[in-house]
């Protein structure tokens, strides 16, 4: 690297400026390991600077609209919330433990994670850093550390609050745990950087629902990081639904590490935000593990939705499945980049990657790029992508039965998304997402 | 019920229907027979409003109102139904959900209240019973992975549920073995009523052994060239279509 220190500092200035208000007031400041973690992350932000379209990871996703905003990370609790505000945002009929964060801060009065079985620790990151920081030493930043992209480093540098879930070996939580991240507009555009950590001991299992919602249609930026660590034979089911405000920016990194025989099933649904980028990064560190990453994105007029998947098979005998579907209408843009890496010694790897897109308008655009990088020679790997339109014959069939054109289009879109919707194994959640998809398509322009 | 006069239609630049006339009264069953390429399916599709067919002349009145200016769904709302030769598979669209959406769309268009889930299930059960069908097809995606016979049964079931005034059966017998054909024909016969007319489009006389028509028409080269009673079908079976073409030429 020949770039001068001063030049990179300037390049990264927008990001570091976002953190300025909280630089000295972050929880756990003064803890040696945590200061080192944040300091190293800040150095990575400075060194990386602002990504440009010349970088492969950012080729189709311009950062200009994001950089034009002067976001600041807040340092106050949202106190003016009452249960009624949140009520309308909940999923009808969903029985779950619930944690609510508002603008990045946990709201204790709206969060109930009591009644958890023995061997399960759950709580706010901020509280734990202030009371029992040693619980997190060696865990926080382990999976989403070096090598993650600049926004993960930015999150680490500004770690403030989030949800922490630690399961001892053999612990099981029967009811799903739902994390609702709620954003409210403030006087100045806010940056919220929730930082979640889920660490499952051997054979532990839990279902996690992660949601991003907003009150009102304000402009803000969420930059979240979720670290997932699965010990041997642990099982995690993880549903994530992004329904940010139509003006919002949403950055999310899910970083996953899987030990031998562990199973992860994730479904990621992107519906909201003006501009969003989600990175799902999974790595196997033990043999015989399984990772399913399903996803659905629905992007409408003026929306940009970018999903980057990166699955690393560094050990033999693991299975990964990536199945993403996209529906685009109006002047929507979507990016799908699915990368599967199979190391030389990762024999008997079984990896399948698929991305299918439905374009409802001529002005919608998707850039889809599946990449298999296979160095081992005894593997079963495949990939496929499609981009298509609604089938006129199917539309006519529905219309001939009296179903109006608009409704017929919605039915076929929901049908197209069907496999992913069905992967949302909780019926109230599945129905809720299907309804949200249908509702958004109601406003989709016909052309 | 249906009055077709001088109907002409193109597919692309090619004229397929060349002045077709047909009058269908209430409760009548009309069979339209004809060799391949005579325009039978085109006629069925033009009636139902499928894209890709350009009407260049003639009129079609359905209960005294112009049909050709209507969207496909509007035709369905007024009581038209097309049983497809090749029913479309809709993976991901649940059959029960589809049937309920169709029925309620038609009810809404007619100013009737939508049926709720309970009332709809009751109606479905009743219709299944009438047609001697079981409910195994209802839980699956529409026609997805159905056998040929199952697809045609699903068409007839839709017809029973939507209760059209005019049903057009487009080559309903194609691809069916004799047992499946009998089941489908029994269903159609069950749905015969003085208020329901049917147009049965078929290449073979075989179907008409099971669905007895009031009138038989022969379509050749885009026009009805001969009309008669059910005996005409037997005559066609015996002599083939060649003799009619020969008489036409003469």
Q: Is pLDDT above 70 for B105?
A: yes
Q: How far apart are the CA of A407 and the nearest CA of chain B, in angstroms?
A: 9
Give me the residue from A398, A407, A415 closest to B92, CB to CB. A415
CA A198, CA A204: separation in Å to the nearest integer? 11
The Cα B61–Cα B71 span in angstroms is 14
pTM (2 d.p.): 0.90
Does residue A300 fall inside a structural domain? no
Instruction: Give residue B145's pLDDT.
Output: 92
Q: Any bridge partners for residue B217, and if so which?
A: B32, B227
The proportion of chain A whose per-residue pLDDT surpasses 70, expressed as a percent, equals 97
End-to-end, the C-alpha distance of chain B in Å comes to 34
Query: Which residues in chain A come in under a pLDDT of 50?
Result: 1-7, 9
**What is the per-residue pLDDT across B53-71, written as a single tens digit (0 to 9) for each?**
999 999 999 999 999 999 9
The DSSP result for A52-73, as a single string, is -TTSGGGSS---HHHHTS--EE
Sheet order of strands, B14-24 included: B14-24, B2-11, B54-62, B65-66
CB-based contacts of B249, cutoff 8 Å, min separation 6: none
Q: Work out how many CB contacts closer than 8 A connect A with B.
A: 78
Q: Do A403 and B50 touch (CB under 8 A)?
A: no
**Nearby residues of B243 by Cβ (< 8 Å), 6 or more positions away:** none
In a domain, A72, yes or no: yes
Q: Does B49 touch chain A (CB under 8 A)?
A: yes
ipTM confidence score? 0.96
How far away is chain B from the Cα of A403, in angstroms, using its nearest Cα?
5
| pLDDT beyond 80 at B243 | no
Chain B CB within 8 Å of residue A402 CB: yes
- Domain extent at residue A212: 5-286
Instruction: Specify the pLDDT at position B250.
Output: 59
Tell me whether residue A16 is in a domain.
yes
In angstroms, what separates the C-alpha of A392 from chain B's closest C-alpha? 9
Across A46-60, A277-291, B75-89, B189-203, least confident range? A46-60
Residue A125 included in any domain: yes
What gap in Å lies between CA A79 and CA A102, rounded to an integer?
9
pLDDT of A114: 76
Q: Which residues contact A38 (CB under 8 A, 6 or more apart)?
A: A26, A156, A157, A158, A159
Q: Is A358 part of a structural domain of the chain?
A: no
Domains: count for chain A: 1
Mean pLDDT, chain B, integer: 92
Average pLDDT (B11-30) is: 95
Q: Does B141 touch chain A (CB under 8 A)?
A: yes
Residue A415 lies in a domain: no
Q: Does B144 touch chain A (CB under 8 A)?
A: no
Segment B143-147 shows an average pLDDT of 93
pLDDT of residue A2: 44
**How much is the pLDDT for B178?**
87
What domains are there in chain B, each with its CATH number? 2-89+164-249 (3.40.50.300)
């Amino acid at each position: 690297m020949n770039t001068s220190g001063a030049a990179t500092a300037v390049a990264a200035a927008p990001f570091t400026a976002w953190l300025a208000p909280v630089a000295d007031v972050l929880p756990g400041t003064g803890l040696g390991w945590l200061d080192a973690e944040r300091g190293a992350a800040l150095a990575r932000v400075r060194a990386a600077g602002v990504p440009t379209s010349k970088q492969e990871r950012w080729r189709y996703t311009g950062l200009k609209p994001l950089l034009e905003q002067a976001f600041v990370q807040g340092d106050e609790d949202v106190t003016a919330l009452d249960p009624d505000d949140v009520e309308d945002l909940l999923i009808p009929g969903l029985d779950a433990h619930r944690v609510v964060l508002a603008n990045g801060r946990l709201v204790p009065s709206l969060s109930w994670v009591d009644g958890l079985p023995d061997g399960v620790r759950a709580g706010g990151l901020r509280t734990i850093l202030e009371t029992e920081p040693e619980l997190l030493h060696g865990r926080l930043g382990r999976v989403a550390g070096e090598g993650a992209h600049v926004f993960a480093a930015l999150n680490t540098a500004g770690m403030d609050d989030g949800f922490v879930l630690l399961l001892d070996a053999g612990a099981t939580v029967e009811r799903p745990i739902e994390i609702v991240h709620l954003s409210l507009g403030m006087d100045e555009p806010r940056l919220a950087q929730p930082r979640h950590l889920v660490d499952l001991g051997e054979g532990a299992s839990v279902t996690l629902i992660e949601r991003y919602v907003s009150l009102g249609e304000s402009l803000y930026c969420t930059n979240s990081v979720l670290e997932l660590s699965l010990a041997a034979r642990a099982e995690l089911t993880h549903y994530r639904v992004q329904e940010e405000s139509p003006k919002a920016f949403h950055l999310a990194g899910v970083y996953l590490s899987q030990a031998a025989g562990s199973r992860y099933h994730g479904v990621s649904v992107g519906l909201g935000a003006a501009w969003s980028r989600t990175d799902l990064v999974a790595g196997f560190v033990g043999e015989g593990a399984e990772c399913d990453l399903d996803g659905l994105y629905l992007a409408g007029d003026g929306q940009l939705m970018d999903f980057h998947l990166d699955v690393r098979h560094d050990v033999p005998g693991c299975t990964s499945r990536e199945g993403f579907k996209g529906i685009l209408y109006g002047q929507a843009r979507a990016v799908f980049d699915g990368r599967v890496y199979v190391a030389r010694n990762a024999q008997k790897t079984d990896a399948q990657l698929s991305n299918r897109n439905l374009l409802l308008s001529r002005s919608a655009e998707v850039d889809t790029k599946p990449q298999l990088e296979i160095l081992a020679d005894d593997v079963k790997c495949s990939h496929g992508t499609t981009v298509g339109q609604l089938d006129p014959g199917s539309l006519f069939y529905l219309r001939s039965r009296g179903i109006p054109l608009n409704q017929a289009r919605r039915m076929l879109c929901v049908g197209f998304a069907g496999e992913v919707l069905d992967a949302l194994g909780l019926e109230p959640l599945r129905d809720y997402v299907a309804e949200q998809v249908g509702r958004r398509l109601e406003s989709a322009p016909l052309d | 019920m249906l009055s077709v006069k001088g109907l002409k239609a193109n597919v692309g630049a090619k004229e397929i229907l060349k002045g077709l006339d047909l009058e269908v009264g209430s409760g009548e069953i009309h069979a339209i027979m004809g060799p391949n390429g005579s325009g039978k399916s085109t006629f069925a599709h033009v009636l139902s409003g499928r894209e890709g067919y350009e009407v260049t002349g003639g009129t079609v009145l359905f209960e005294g109102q112009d049909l050709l200016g209507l969207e496909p769904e509007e035709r369905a709302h007024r009581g038209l139904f097309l049983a497809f030769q090749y029913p479309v598979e809709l993976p991901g669209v649940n059959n029960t959900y589809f049937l309920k959406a169709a029925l309620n769309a038609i009810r809404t268009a007619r100013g009737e209240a939508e049926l709720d889930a309970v009332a709809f299930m009751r109606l479905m059960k009743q219709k299944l019973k009438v047609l001697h069908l079981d409910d195994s097809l209802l839980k699956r995606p529409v026609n997805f992975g159905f056998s040929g016979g199952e697809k045609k049964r699903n068409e007839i079931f839709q017809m029973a549920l939507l209760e059209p005034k005019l049903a057009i059966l487009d080559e309903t017998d194609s691809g069916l073995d004799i047992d499946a054909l009998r089941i489908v024909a029994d269903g159609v016969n069950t749905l015969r009523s003085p208020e329901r007319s049917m147009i049965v489009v078929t290449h073979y006389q075989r179907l008409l052994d099971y669905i007895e028509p009031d009138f038989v028409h022969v379509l050749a080269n885009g026009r009805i060239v001969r009309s008669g009673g059910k005996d005409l079908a037997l005559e066609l079976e015996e002599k083939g279509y060649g003799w009619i073409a020969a008489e036409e030429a003469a």
